[in-house]
């Protein structure tokens, strides 16, 4: 009985710090990106709407949220480092500046492609990934987002 109680307490004590750490990381990301960050299963999810874009699809003006014009970022603690993956909707003339910022920070660009046809103006989606220090990676990504002209609060 003592062994079962001990093992139960040990397992519980390993779960709590991970939850606290994820919450702490998410709060740090809220400060950096100046937006609400959701925590789910140890992953900090950041979504920033591109309200400065005026894009229509098949001649119809739709909201940025409906069209998926959001910067999507996911941060997860893996073995003491932070893995980040994300997606950025970009105008064609923003791609080079964003890629330059990510590469300067050693964040890998994994794809650039379109999601839609018949949108105007053309939107390209850039996917990226990295592994390292949470604050450092967030700063690099924030600079890449700022290269689009996005204004943080």
The DSSP code sequence of 56-111 is: EETTEE--HHHHT-EEEEEEEEETTEEEEEEEEEEEGGGHHHHHHHHHHTTPEEEE
Q: Which pLDDT tens digit goes with each residue over 7-49?
A: 443 344 444 444 558 889 999 999 999 999 999 999 999 999 9
| β partners of residue 38 | 45
Number of Cβ atoms within 10 Å of the Cβ of 141: 27
- Please state, in angstroms and as integers, the Cα–Cα distance from residue 149 to each residue in 21, 26, 40, 97, 145, following that order: 32, 24, 29, 11, 7
Alpha carbons within 13 A on the beta-carbon side of 74: 12
Q: Which pLDDT tens digit goes with each residue over 50-109?
A: 999 999 999 999 999 999 999 999 999 999 999 999 999 999 999 999 999 999 999 999
């Amino acid at each position: 009985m003592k062994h079962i109680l001990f093992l139960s307490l040990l397992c519980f004590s390993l779960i709590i710090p991970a939850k606290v750490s994820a919450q702490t990381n998410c709060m740090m990301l809220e400060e950096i990106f100046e937006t609400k960050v959701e925590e789910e299963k140890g992953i900090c999810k950041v979504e920033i709407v591109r309200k400065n874009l005026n894009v229509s699809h098949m001649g119809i003006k739709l909201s940025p949220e409906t069209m998926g014009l959001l910067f999507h970022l996911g941060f997860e603690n893996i073995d003491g480092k932070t893995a980040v993956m994300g997606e950025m909707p970009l105008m064609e003339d923003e791609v080079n500046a964003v890629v330059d910022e990510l590469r300067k920070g050693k964040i890998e660009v994994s794809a650039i492609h379109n999601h839609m046809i018949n949108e105007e103006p053309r939107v390209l989606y850039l996917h990226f990934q990295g592994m390292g220090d949470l604050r450092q990676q967030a700063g690099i990504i924030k600079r890449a987002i700022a290269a689009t002209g996005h204004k943080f609060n």
